């Protein structure tokens, strides 16, 4: 039988069901493989006892803390309004460190790390893209600009949403 004729024959219903089940299982596993596990340096103990933070990290975190309560504004980078990547860019600039403007550019342009320390960037998204970034503050918390109608605030990273949308971390500060 020619090869083309073999592909045109209808599949037996049980074989079709088995093939569909296998495809679903493979796609489910591929989706799970795409989400890295969120790891932070303070998961293993107190930050102050185990690590010294550079002055740049302290400056980044202080700027982010001072931004708490600033209203969200898409494309904003000033105290009158900020979006998530505007907050991170301004925070690092306060420490003399230039980083790209958007969360996707920051994710693509900065070297990723396995374990976030206070002062590092944490990225979130779905599929292959990143749409959100925040600054890890320690103790399973980050400061971020969450979206329209909200303001710069602290988020608990133990929340299921953050864990399931985590894409990675970067350390622009020494």
Q: State the sign of the Cα–Cα–Cα–Cα dihedral 158, 159, 160, 166.
A: negative
* Domain extent for 26: 3-33
Residues 93 and 136 in one domain: yes
pLDDT band at 52 (very low <50, low <70, confident <90, very high): confident
Residues 21 and 104 in one domain: no
Provide the domain count of the chain: 2
Residues 84 and 123 in one domain: yes
Residues 140 and 57 in one domain: yes
Q: What is the mean pLDDT of residues 119-147?
A: 96
Task: Check 8, 50, 84, 165 and give the catalytic one.
Answer: 84
Task: Check 12, 50, 144, 165 and give the catalytic one.
Answer: 144
Residue of 80, 60, 102 whose CA lies nearest to 151: 80
Residues 10 and 96 in one domain: no
CATH of the domain at 52: 3.90.1720.10
pLDDT band at 11 (very low <50, low <70, confident <90, very high): low
Task: Check 8, 32, 132, 165 and give the catalytic one.
Answer: 132
Q: What is the mean pLDDT of residues 93-115?
A: 98
What was the pLDDT predicted at 19? 60
- Catalytic residue status for 132: yes
What was the pLDDT predicted at 26? 43
- Catalytic residue status for 12: no
Residues 20 and 60 in one domain: no
Residues 11 and 79 in one domain: no
Residues 28 and 47 in one domain: no
Cβ contacts of 165 within 8 Å, gap of 6 or more:
35, 124, 125, 126, 132
C-alpha of 151 from chain center:
19
What was the pLDDT predicted at 15? 60
Query: For the chain, what is the mean pLDDT?
Result: 85
Neighbours of 160 (CB within 10 A): 7
- Catalytic residue status for 32: no
């Amino acid at each position: 039988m020619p090869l083309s004729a073999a592909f045109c024959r209808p599949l037996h219903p049980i074989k079709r069901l088995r093939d569909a089940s296998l495809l679903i299982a493979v796609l489910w596993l591929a989706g799970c493989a795409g989400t890295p596990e969120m790891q932070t340096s303070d998961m293993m103990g107190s930050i102050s006892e185990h690590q010294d933070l550079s002055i740049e990290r302290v400056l980044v975190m202080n700027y982010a803390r001072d931004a708490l309560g600033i209203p969200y504004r898409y494309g904003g980078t000033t105290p009158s309004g900020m979006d998530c990547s505007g907050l991170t860019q301004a925070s690092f600039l306060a420490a003399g460190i230039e980083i790209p403007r958007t969360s996707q550019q920051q994710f693509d342009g900065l070297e990723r790390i396995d374990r976030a320390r206070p002062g590092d960037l944490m990225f979130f998204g779905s599929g292959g893209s990143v749409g959100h970034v925040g600054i890890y503050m320690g103790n399973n918390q980050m400061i971020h600009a969450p979206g329209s109608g909200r303001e710069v605030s602290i988020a608990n990273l133990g929340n299921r949403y953050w864990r399931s949308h985590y894409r990675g971390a970067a350390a622009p500060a020494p």
